[in-house]
Structure 1
Amino acid sequence: MAAIIANDSPKYRNSLICCSPRSADVVSGTSSSSTSGCVSADESYDSNYIPKSIANRKLKIHNTATREEIEKAINQCKELVLSSPQCSDERKWLVRYLVELRLRLEDLKDSDGVLRARVAIKGHHFEQQTNTGNRKLYCDHCSGVIWSIVQSSYICTDCGYLCHYKCVDDICRVCAHVVMTEKGQFEMSICPEKGLAAQDYKCAECHTALTFKDTWNEPRLCDYTGLYFCATCHWNDLSAIPARVVHNWDWEKRYISRIASQMLNLSWSRPYIDIESINSRLFNFIAELEWVHKMRRDLEWMRRYLCACTEGTSLLSPLFVQLGDVNKKYSMAHLQAINDGSLESQLTELTEVCRAHITNCALCSGKGYLCEVCGNNEILYPFDSGAIMCDKCNSMYHRGCWLRKGQKCLKCVRLDDRKKSNVTTDDTDSSHQYDIDKFVE
């Protein structure tokens, strides 16, 4: 039975370990040591890391600290926050630790020795899990099975970290929501692997020694971070990698660690990717992406018309708000929808509805433009494919009229002539200077 449970765990999924009672015993004897170290998404977010300037302050307190000890640590932490430089690593660490201490103090006041309904630690906001359903769950800390009938468990409301009740005070991994909020972007280097030697042949999270001699503790490479993890911290989760998508439009799923999986799941719908600055040549190879990029520019102009119209604000759907902004960034969900072809049909329908409103609305159509070259009564808009706008004065022309005039804006020419005539007039007035002494007798 122990062998079945051990081999069913995600810790050994797709691994080379044999299904034998002996191997299961070996694993059960070493699984606890694999989570004894600090767990972090990357080296800059080491949970046991304390900035050198405040390392000797002894701010860390034990899990069994009393209320007085926590209050003393809060006061000391507040003083250090005020004395630390702005936007420094010390202040970031102190603010995060101060929030954790305050939440821990509130939790201590409410619990009074009873089973805690909420726990705050390492940036996580744990809540006791009640309805687990029929799906088998595993602890992110020890990778063991969570028996919902006899065991209590907690789940983080921010990143989905799941653990036993007995493991909640021993977790080391900083919340993936905190990590991605502070970073604000994806890793844009394709598998930035440095090798096991750079990690001192230890797991990037729990610092367990890694070796190829024992298959139960084989090193597993995370294709997103480029770091090696042990089987407890790497469950062979599959996901598309943002860097490979942006550079090569490669949507093949690859193995990633648990912390990378949580970070990607949290940030999948966040607009973090600026393709123009990272790989602008991708538009030349992916026709669907180039078309969506053009439609986004049209939506930016349409948004300006619709926001100024009382009837047009109802057309600002959530998709319009996401794609009609001015930051020109994409999320992984947007790129995946472009690859699937679903976003193209949605944008086509959305732009047709918005265009119909702008051209038929008396208020919106009154803000259109007329071509000064041909002089006909056709109203032009910045989002028309057959129109072109002057970059200096925002005048609109037909593309044919613009080329016929040698790509010169008539309004800009008039403004330049007016400036030259004003300068000439000022020079003439300054030359007519009268001597007052001639008129004085």
Structure 2
Amino acid sequence: MIDALVNTLKDLQDRDADIALLKSALRHESVTGNEANFVSFLQTQMADLVLAPRSADFLPGRPNIWGVRKGSQTEPGRNLMFTGHTDTVHVRGWADHWEDDPRNDPFGGAIVDGHVWGRGACDLKGGICAALAALRLLDRAGITLANDLSFAFIGDEESGEVGTGVSAGAKDLTHRILSGTVPKPDFAVYVEPTKLDVYTAQIGFFIADVKITGKSAYFGTPDEGVDALKATHKILSAVWAHSDALRSQPHHDLVGPSDVLVTHLSGGGYIAVPGECSFSVIRKLRPGEDLSEAVVAFESVVRGADIDPSIEISFDYPAGRDHPKGGSPVEIDRNHPAAAMLQSSLKDTGATGGDIGGAPYWSESPFWVDQLGCPTVYCAPGNIAVAHTFEERISIDAYLDAVRAYALFMTRFCGVVET
């Protein structure tokens, strides 16, 4: 029976139509803040799939979109959700980088060396299109699902544009699910690129901008001042020691160690004692660590450095996500039955990947896992290593594999109506 269904999905897959869907998605530019351009495309695609799509702004002019294909059974059943973000990072410098090359249009979807190239190809329009194409494949095969299948696509996941990138879309969708406006899923697949592995864990993080304020003074009378740069040197030494201590703790087998990375440093005076200095860090958290406690520990390290007591220190946390000061780490049972079902669907359809892994990035599954109580994994074609770069692309073979694997998983999780 499994072999017959796998063969049916392979025989009925319309490769050209699936590739055309992705190329069309890429043509709808959706750099963070302009999600509406892509949402209008999704509105049409989801309506064609009888998903009864609905959309609403999470911020003025910036909509989320969601829809559901109700299962055939009359009694309340299970709801499988595919979800992901509609926005991409910017394309500044792309055209210059690919001058006189077929890839010079970041939204053109050029096919080179068996890959579709363009901004959002892997992060993560490839995953969105594969999920939609999977339902279209089931329709082509005449397969009716017994339980509900839903899709929800949200904006504001990416960082990089001023005043954006705080998961405003995920926060709005979470509120709508909790209020009953959007059906609550029982299991979710967030289509961040994983090379078609199944990620049951992800890192957490916070970004801290630290300002050190001393007192400037003319270089010839340095004793009149309080050197902020010298204080920052001692503070950074303490921060790096803190990072070393974190890295010496047991590593998580899927996402590695915790640490602190100093990402920026600025300070100095004009022929004078530096009166101000600032630096930024990003703190990586393993699943099981508490983000609030990590913030307290970091501030304690900074304030505990051996510096002049008149130095003033302030902290700012600009990247609040599911937590006011950052994004929480998260992990579900790696043996969760639905995760295992997704694994087997990948392997049975001959897709590459299918192993359990952990995300070396932060995305929005904590909203589902922690706030909705919905077990969630990341799984999609594409390699996160090329996301946000001029090399962003997705393997056509992996993308088409994902369509069939998602389709098979939908049948297994939702069940089918026997004819």
**Higher strand content, 1 or 2:** 2
Same fold (TM over 0.5): no
Q: Which has the larger radius of gyration?
A: 1
Per chain length, whose mean CA-contact separation is higher, i.e. which structure has more relative contact order (CA < 8 Å, sep 6+)? 2
**Higher helix content, 1 or 2:** 1
Q: Give TM-score, length-normalised by structure 1.
A: 0.27
